[in-house]
Chain A
Amino acid sequence: MLKKTASYIGIPLFYLFLYLPISVLLLFSFNSEGFPSPWKGFTLKWYEELFRSPFLWEAFGNSLIVASFSTFICLSLGLFLIYYATQGGKVKRFLLLFYGNLVIPETVLGVSLLGFFSFFSIPLGLITLIFAHTVLGLGVTLPILYARYEELDLKLTEASSVLGATPVQTFFKVTLPLMFPTAITTALLVFILSFDDFVLSYFCAGSTAQTLSLYILSMIRSGISPVINALSAILLTLSSLLVLTFFSIKTRKRIL
């Protein structure tokens, strides 16, 4: 009985804690007066101001480019490795090499990559950001892809080669379609990791390339403005849509 009431109070309290700041933020993105004022009336002017800001669109575009390219690279490299596994490559032991990517604090990774880029005099910018984010992305891509590959029924690929398909045909017509849902959810995960990443971007972006995270940081540093509230509302909608997609593909139980 005690336990029941505890969960009736505790769980709503937890979700309130989770959503209170976000909801307040969203509500005040429609407030007609600027920050230190209480609720005055409904307006969309902060959204208009947001959409007129050229910096926002540039930062948004940069984040999209970086996230798309790093997702593409991670997924291609990962699938190459899976192809190698289908050809009898012993992939399992390689995976150990990639555990570090997620375990190492991003600050340490960011500093080492910065040193690396300056050592080889690679100018900081979108390219270096893409490199940095792939390192992070590979840490999630490979374990997930390989776990799915291990679940596959090998009889199917054997059947395909018995029936005369070349290894490449088997890979594209049998293995890849079977792995497709996992590949998509992995891509979503890598995309969002890169899109939302702050620490690596902070170290590896240099002074010219601004991502959305860095843009938000500079906005926060210059003080509270309802324009950021409007931006949060839009990003919240976008990420809810992404999570919905993720969920509908992965109706199974495992989330991470």
Chain B
Amino acid sequence: MNIKESRWLPPLPFFFGSPVLLWQLFFFYLPLLLLTLSSILTFSPLGNFEGLTLDRLLLFLQPVYAKVILSSLLLALSNALICFFIGYPIAYFLAFKAKKMKPLFLFFLIVPFWINFLLHVYAWFFVLEKEGFLNWLLLSLGIMDQPIPFLNSLFAILLMMVYYYLPFMILPLYSSLEQFNIQLIEASQDLGAKGWQTLLYILLPLSKGGIMAGFFLVFIPSFGEFAIPELMGGDKWLFVGNVVSQYILSETEGALGAAFTLVSALALLLAALLLYKGLNFLLKPKGEHA
């Protein structure tokens, strides 16, 4: 059999491509479809189909629920922004300044990334507790005479979020900056651009891919986060994840939980689209200024 013949054969082994597609269809798309259906269909107590309803979805447009969704979006956005402002200089350093030490710096960036997420939460718990390490340190150094309750505050929630999600921002930024042609920076400086001009007109627009990836890798999962608000915020603030998990674990409210999940997922989709447009607009190469 020569090559031509083997190319000529119809792609018969679709059989080999199909398992993964079936798996995906069955365990990803079907559950999402069921989620949608179960939040808009009604059944009689005996399980007979009764009809369509949008009531459950509309219920969640009430201010109480809308507030939960909005505060989740705000939390996710502030997390992404803080991660970006801390992460960009770090990624810049790793890509251009770390030189020979780069593998070492990368290694120490990734190790904590691979530890169980809950242990990070526990570690900060340990540090921020009223009788924890930070208060002990501040008290014994004589900086204060009263322990500060760091936990159960928005500060603790946001600190934990930033801590955990920073690598998700830094790694894509790093890989896009790493492919960046450093001569472009030199050229811009030779032509008399100030530092901020190079940053704004050259560096940021040309690392757009990494910035986008970083923003979405942080923004989307932090929207549904529920362990951090619960453990660091002491249930004082409600976010989407907390409401969903309460509904789901109550068992009788399953349909409402599904509906709330659907509504918040749609809100997230909309917000992500807006974020995408916004970033695209901000990072557009500004040719006319150059």
Chain A residues with a Cβ under 8 A of chain B: 3, 6-7, 10-11, 14-15, 17-22, 24-25, 28, 35-36, 38, 73, 77-78, 80-81, 83-85, 87-91, 94, 97-98, 100-101, 103-109, 111-116, 118-119, 131-132, 134-135, 138, 142, 158, 161-162, 164, 167, 192, 195-196, 198-199, 202-203, 212-213, 216-217, 220, 224, 228-229, 231-232, 235-236, 239-240, 242-244, 247, 253-256
Q: Which residue on B lies nearest to A244, using beta carbons?
A: B107
Q: Is B13 a contact of A105 with CB atoms below 8 Å? A: no
What are the nearest 7 A-B pairs in CB distance?
A107-B224, A105-B224, A84-B17, A21-B123, A116-B31, A112-B31, A36-B131
Q: Is B119 a contact of A112 with CB atoms below 8 Å? A: no
Residues from chain A with Cβ under 8 Å of B248 in the complex: 111, 114, 203
Please report the C-alpha to C-alpha distance between residue A41 and residue B133 in the assembled complex, in whole angstroms: 16
With an 8 A cutoff between CB atoms, is B59 at the interface? no
Residues from chain B with Cβ under 8 Å of A167 in the complex: 6, 13
Q: Interface digits, B88-103 against A, CB 8 Å rule (1 contact, 0 not)?
A: 0110010001000001
28 CB contacts below 8 A, A to B, read A11-B105, A21-B124, A24-B126, A25-B119, A35-B131, A38-B136, A38-B140, A77-B20, A83-B13, A87-B11, A94-B21, A101-B24, A106-B224, A107-B226, A108-B264, A111-B257, A111-B258, A113-B27, A115-B35, A116-B34, A135-B28, A203-B248, A216-B119, A220-B125, A220-B231, A224-B129, A236-B119, A255-B106
Q: Is B220 a contact of A103 with CB atoms below 8 Å? A: yes
Please report the C-alpha to C-alpha distance between residue A115 and residue B11 in the assembled complex, in whole angstroms: 37
Q: Is B35 a contact of A111 with CB atoms below 8 Å? A: yes
With an 8 A cutoff between CB atoms, is B152 at the interface? no
A87 in contact with B13 given A24-B133, A112-B35 (CB within 8 Å): yes
B:1-36 near A, CB below 8 Å: 1-3, 6-7, 9, 11-14, 16-17, 19-21, 23-24, 27-28, 30-32, 34-35
Q: Is B220 a contact of A105 with CB atoms below 8 Å? A: yes
Please report the C-alpha to C-alpha distance between residue A73 and residue B27 in the assembled complex, in whole angstroms: 13
A220 in contact with B118 given A81-B20, A108-B265, A119-B34 (CB within 8 Å): yes
